[in-house]
Amino acid sequence: MKTNCLMASAASLWLAALSPMPVIGKGISYGLALVTSVQLVQESRRLMVQDARRAALNAVNQELEQTEIALHHWQQEESLKEVYGATATYPPEVKQELTESLEHLYKEPSADHPQETYTSTSHTKAFYLAVKSLLDAKGETFVIEQILKLGGRNWAEGKAHLQQILNEGEANGW
């Protein structure tokens, strides 16, 4: 708005100086036209700098938004990895509960015979999932020695039994 007013003023003062008027009037008109032209140039420079700053600020804001989106996406992936990831990070109470439930399942009468198949698919699935979670959290040695109670001289039998459990779970798509 200001630049348009300055441009109109400069043009009208320049045209006024070209009209028939006394020399003093022409001098004043040319002087004022020159002053308004200088003001117009200064205002144009200020507007160009302001536009450049606004464009740079918009670019920075867009980059910041994209970075925030990427960070949010990464945080969601990390939380999903935490929840569903391969490495289980259970609190000690949950680990103890899983261990106790596995021991209970193993000590059931049907668990005394490793070659015997379980009658209930849900028990088998629960047992498989519990063994798999403890396997991820504690490792193979812990599961064979503490859960299956087949350590020492019975290590090979325990390893075979663990492999049978894992194969059965994978075969059923658990």
Return the domain boundaries, the chain: 2-84, 92-171
DSSP letters spanning 69-109: HHHHHHHHHHHHHHHHSSS----HHHHHHHHHHHHHHHHSG
Of 101, 155, 158, the closest CA to residue 130 belongs to 101
Contacts with 135 (C-beta within 8 Å, 6 or more apart), sequence order = 143, 162, 166
- Per-residue pLDDT, 25: 92
- Per-residue pLDDT, 93: 81
Helices 121-137, 155-171: inter-axial angle, 10-degree rounding = 120
Low-confidence ranges of the chain (pLDDT < 50): 113-119
Instruction: Check if the beta carbon of residue 142 is closer than 8 Å to that of residue 133.
Output: no
